[in-house]
Amino acid sequence: MCDDVTEAENLRWFTGRPMRRRDLGPIGAGAVAAMLPGCASGAGPEKADTREIASRTVEITTADGKADAWFVHPAGARHPAVIMWPDIAGLREAYQVMGSRLARSGYAVLVVNQYYRSAPAPVLSTLAEWMTDAGKEKLKPMIAAITPDGPARDAAAFVDWLDGQPEVDATSKVGTCGYCMGGAFTFRTAAERPKRVGALASFHGGGLATDAADSPHLLIPKMQGALLVAIAQNDDARDPKVKEILRSAADTAGRPAEIEVYPAQHGWCTIDAPVHDGEQAEKAWNRMLATFEKYL
CATH number at residue 235: 3.40.50.1820
Residue 233 belongs to domain spanning:
4-295
| Count of the separate structural domains present in the chain | 1
- Classify 43 as helix, strand or coil: coil
* pLDDT on residue 50: 72
pLDDT tens track of the chain, all 296 residues?
555 544 444 444 344 444 343 343 333 334 333 333 223 333 334 444 678 999 999 999 999 999 999 999 999 899 999 999 999 999 999 999 999 999 999 999 999 999 999 999 999 999 999 989 999 999 999 999 999 899 999 999 999 999 999 999 999 999 999 999 999 999 999 999 999 999 999 999 999 999 999 999 999 999 999 999 999 999 999 999 999 999 999 999 999 999 999 999 999 999 999 999 999 999 999 999 999 999 99
What is the Cα–Cα distance from 114 to 146, expressed in whole angstroms? 8
pLDDT recorded at residue 51: 86
Rounded CA-CA distance 186/201 in Å is 7
Distance between terminal CA atoms of the chain? 27
Sheet containing 174-179, strands listed edge to edge, beginning at the edge strand earlier in sequence? 53-62, 65-74, 108-112, 81-85, 174-179, 197-203, 226-232, 257-262
User: Across 91-232, where does the E strand assignment appear?
Assistant: 108-112, 174-179, 197-203, 226-232
Alpha carbon dihedral 84, 109, 25, 185, in 10-degree steps, equals 10
